[in-house]
Each structure stands twice: as C-alpha cells, then as structure tokens.
Structure 1
Amino acid sequence: MEGKLWKVADALSCNEDILHRWLCTIEAHYHAGNAYHNATHAADVLQATSYFLDSPAVAAHISENHAIAAILAATVHDLDHPGRGNAFLINTRQSLAVLYNDHSVLENHHVALAFQLTLQQSNNVNIFSNLSREEFTSMRHAMVEMVLATDISRHFEYLVKFNKMNVVDVPDDAREGNSMTICNMLVKCADISNPTREWSLCQKWAYRIVEEYFDQVSNRAKIVHIQRFNILLCCQK
C-alpha cells in the first residue's frame, strides 16, 4: 500500500513485480519468533514513516529522493534482528559485534544485509537496477544514514543536530542537508512511535517488547553461566 502511495516503483524505474518480490524477500528475513522485532514491527514503522512524510509541514522540506529512501529504510531498518540488543551482542562478544567493531552493530547489519539481498543476482529482486550510478549511490547513502540513525545510543547526537537546523529562508545549498536531517529524525520517531497508537495497540507493543527483553535477560544469564563454567574448566586444567 505504501509503495503505491509513494509510487516507489515509478521513482526507482522498476517493475512492480520486482518491487513485490523484493518486499517478500525482505519480509522473509525478519524473524517471526521475535516478540517485538519482527515483520509486523517493520510494517508498523513503515506506516508511521509514510504518515509523517505525508504531512504538508514535512513534505515542504523533503526531497523526493529522500522520501523514497525513507520508505525503503523503514522497511529494512530491523532486518534479520536477532531479538537481542547491541549491548547484549557486544557484552557477549557475538560475531556481529566483532564484525562491526561494537559500533551500531545491529543497524549496520540490517542495512548491509538489505543491500546484499537486493544486489544478489540470483534473488532477482534488484529494485535499483535501472538507476544510474549516481542515483544508486545517492539512494544507498540516504538509506544507510537513515537506518544508522535508529541506533538509540546516538539519539542525542541526532537530536542536537535536528534542533540546530534552520528551516526559514534556507539557502539552496543547505536544503539537501536539511532534508537528510529531517528524514533521519522522521525514521527514528517512526521506530519508537508505538506510544502514539491507540491504547490497545500501544499496550500490545509494550507487552511484546517486555517479553523480548526478558527473553534476552534469560539468555544473557545462560551465556554468563557457560562462560564462567568454561573459565573454571580452564583453571582446573
């Protein structure tokens, strides 16, 4: 629905069948077993992103390229989420944390995997295949920036930049930067927009995130126990 509203296929000059296959591929790489970080959450964030973009007050400051990038970024922003947070991955020395040097671990993984799946020829879901090199580079840069902006540990960094932004009598050379800053904040807000839903939905999402957090704590305790046991074995040797 959001794809048709924003004419994503037209903006990317791609066939709607390819866009549909891409969406199915992305959905398949969200984990249904996660109480919170699953395809339903991605759809929820996508809808919120679309709603924000549709506001005249926002649309006046957003480029078309960034609007499309925001729609795509919202779609992939938690791709292949393991149901564990960055701190957990870092503290338990998981492979993803090692790969991304403890910096925005999950966010880097989400967007990297999204492009890997998209550009893999055997998948036949390359929605960017008809873009020029410059257009693709611009779209990729915007999507990467927006997904990385969802790292909550960098929240105040983005908030300070957003609050310093001037939207009155903006010179042409600053419009692109403003558009990017607004979209970063827009996707961030969409990602944590559950409390703005009607109470019944808000409550369901709250229960889901608590369930996932408790599962993470339980898993963390098991890992710590195993690590301590291994240390004891080494000492006995």
Structure 2
Amino acid sequence: VPAATHGIWAATACRLSALAGKPRPEVHRGGSYPKLVSFLRAVEDGYHDVPYHNSCHAADVLCRLSAILLAERMCHDGTPQSRGLLLATLVAAVIHDYDHPGTDNAFQVNEGTKAARSFNHRMVLENNSLFQCLEMLRSPRMDLWSEFGINPTHATQLVIELVLATDMTRHFDIVGEFESKVVASLETQRIDNACDFLHSLDEPKRRLTLSVALKIADVGHACAPSHAHERWSKCLEREFAQQGELDLKSGREPAILKHPQKPSVTDPSNQAAFFNIIAIPMLTSWTKAFPSSGNCLLHQAKTNLRH
C-alpha cells in the first residue's frame, strides 16, 4: 500500500479522512484536528529503528486493517457507534507495537527489563505500548476522543482488548473462540451486510471480531504480493537474529527461529509451517464470516505458500 511507505501520519490521515467527513487535504494539514496530529506524531516518534517492528510495520498494519474494514463495509454506516468502533480500531493498529525494542516478551522477562517488572511478566510489550499511548491520549493536547466526539471509556476498552490480542501466545485461543462463538452463530442467522452483523453481536463477540481483524492485519504480509511478503519475512528474520545474538551473549540458547546460525523465518519449511498453522487457518475462519475481504486474503496467502 503506497501510504504505508510514508509512515503512520500519512497512512492514518488518509484513513481518517472518510471518518472525519473531511476532504483528505484538510485532514493531512491537520488544521481541524490538532490533537490527532499531535498524537500521531508522538506515536511515530516512539517507534524505533528496528528491522521489523518499526513505524512502517505499524502503517502497513493500519492500511491493511482499513482495507479489510472497507471491503466489508464494517463500521462504515456513519452511526456514532460505528464511528467509535472505527476510530478505536484504527488507533489500536497505530499503537500496537509502540516502543517495540526489537526483542520479544520472553527476552524482556529473561533480562528483567523495567517493562517486564512493571507489567509482572504478562504481555509485557503489549501492555507497555498501551500504557504509554493511553497516557498520551489523556493529555488535553492529544485527546483525539474528544476531538472526534467519541466516548473515551468505550473506545479505551476496545483499544486495550485489541492490542492485547496481538500477543501471539494467545493466538490459538482467540482464533478458536472466534470460530466457536462468531462463526458458529452464522448457523442461526443470515448476514445481509457485515456492518449489521457486527452490531448484532454482543459486546464481547464484537470485540473478538475486531481483534481477529487486527490479528490478520498484523501478520498480513502473508496476504501481500509475494515480493512484499518475502521482504517483510527477511526483515523479521534479521530482527530475530539480532535478538538471538543478544541471547547468546547473555549465555542463553535462543528460542526457535532466533538462532543466528540456524534456519529461521525464510526457511521453506518454516514458511510452510507459518502458513499452515497460523495464517491460513485464521484466514479460513475469517472467510466463513466475512468473504468479501477473506476470499482475497486467503487466495493470496495460498499463492504465497505455493511460491
């Protein structure tokens, strides 16, 4: 997506132009939305120059998530509820890897970092991203909830749930719950449009659905054109290797995929495992409920698996 190459600010401005009901240039200038501008610039500054979990990744996830929601016309009926859901979901995409150091949660725990101690070894990086960014949103200068007329309590709760869902240790539980609670509900009701279906769900199922949408976007390079998927995979492999080197220096055996001298992300067998165990089953579940976006994503993922 071209907007992803211009960072979080440009990508978000493009996506929020429709939400704001303003022409894109006005949103880009930020004249009507100074709090949005301040928040996005602060978030972008908080992403680090690491190979994979950088501001370009955040912008890429944002663009892909926006495309999924748009393809399904999900949260796009213009009601206050939909506006709140849409803004909170896009904010979650923007902040989900804020301040990511290029090392994972296990590394934070093993090293006894301040973040690991602060969040009691639980979803360390996700909680750290949330805490810092939600503190920004409490500032009058960056309170974009008030700028868009959104209920801050409901929006904050949704942002928290969505960002925490990106912790891959919870992946199978979340996808399994989506299959059993959301997809299974299709047996008793017919979807005329995704927006109505989303609003027909109770609050936990609605949040679960948007969590899966964000998770798909987060590993969405699996659904990108093959050359883009390969590039992102190499970036992730480089970041993993850098962590592996730090582990070795600390006298620890690096985790799977992170040893700098062993097969990693781009290894064909590891690629096949990622698609067959993580990406394709999640996309298959999503497609059952939301075929407008799901069929396209699933087709490209299967193409990349064969590539």
TM-score (norm 2): 0.64
CA distance in structure 1 between the partners assigned to 2:199 and 2:175 by the alignment: 23
CA distance in structure 1 between the partners assigned to 2:45 and 2:134 by the alignment: 15
> What does residue range 91-110 of structure 1 map to in structure 2 within 5 Å?
91-110=110-129
Asked if residue 180 in structure 1 is aligned to residue 199 in structure 2, the reply is: no
Cα displacement string for residues 57-112 of structure 1 (whole angstroms, at most 9, x for unaligned residues): 75599951222211110000000001100111112222211111111111111111
Asked if residue 155 in structure 1 is aligned to residue 168 in structure 2, the reply is: no
Note if contact 1:70-1:143 (Cα within 8 Å) is conserved in structure 2. Answer: yes
Asked if residue 34 in structure 1 is aligned to residue 82 in structure 2, the reply is: no
Shift of 1:7: 2.6
**Equivalent of 1:137, from 131, 148, 153?**
153
Cα displacement string for residues 25-79 of structure 1 (whole angstroms, at most 9, x for unaligned residues): 1101101x20101000000000011011112375599951222211110000000
CA distance in structure 2 between the partners assigned to 1:220 and 1:101 by the alignment: 21
Residues 76/83 of structure 1: CA separation in 2 closer, same or farther (3 Å cut) = same
Higher relative contact order, structure no. (Cα contacts within 8 Å, ≥ 6 residues apart) = 1
Cα displacement string for residues 171-219 of structure 1 (whole angstroms, at most 9, x for unaligned residues): 9774333321110100011000012111221111111000000001111
- Name the amino acid aligned to 1:69: A
Count of residue pairs the alignment pairs up: 217
- Name the amino acid aligned to 1:117: M
Provide the residue aligned with 1:126 in structure 2: 143
What are the ranges of 5 or more consecutive residues in structure 1 without an aligned counterpart? 226-237
Provide the residue aligned with 1:71 in structure 2: 90
Provide the residue aligned with 2:68 in structure 1: 52
Provide the residue aligned with 2:293 in structure 1: none
CA distance in structure 2 between the partners assigned to 1:158 and 1:8 by the alignment: 34
CA distance in structure 2 between the partners assigned to 1:137 and 1:180 by the alignment: 14
Note if contact 1:67-1:183 (Cα within 8 Å) is conserved in structure 2. Answer: no
Provide the residue aligned with 1:234 in structure 2: none
Q: Identity over aligned residues, as a percent?
A: 25
**Equivalent of 2:100, from 81, 85, 90?**
81
Provide the residue aligned with 1:230 in structure 2: none
Shift of 1:120: 3.1
- Name the amino acid aligned to 1:142: L
Which sits farther off after the overlay, 166-175 or 197-206?
166-175
Note if contact 2:198-2:206 (Cα within 8 Å) is conserved in structure 1. Answer: no
Residues 57/20 of structure 1: CA separation in 2 closer, same or farther (3 Å cut) = closer
What are the ranges of 5 or more consecutive residues in structure 2 without an aligned counterpart? 1-13, 23-30, 190-196, 253-307
- Name the amino acid aligned to 2:42: T
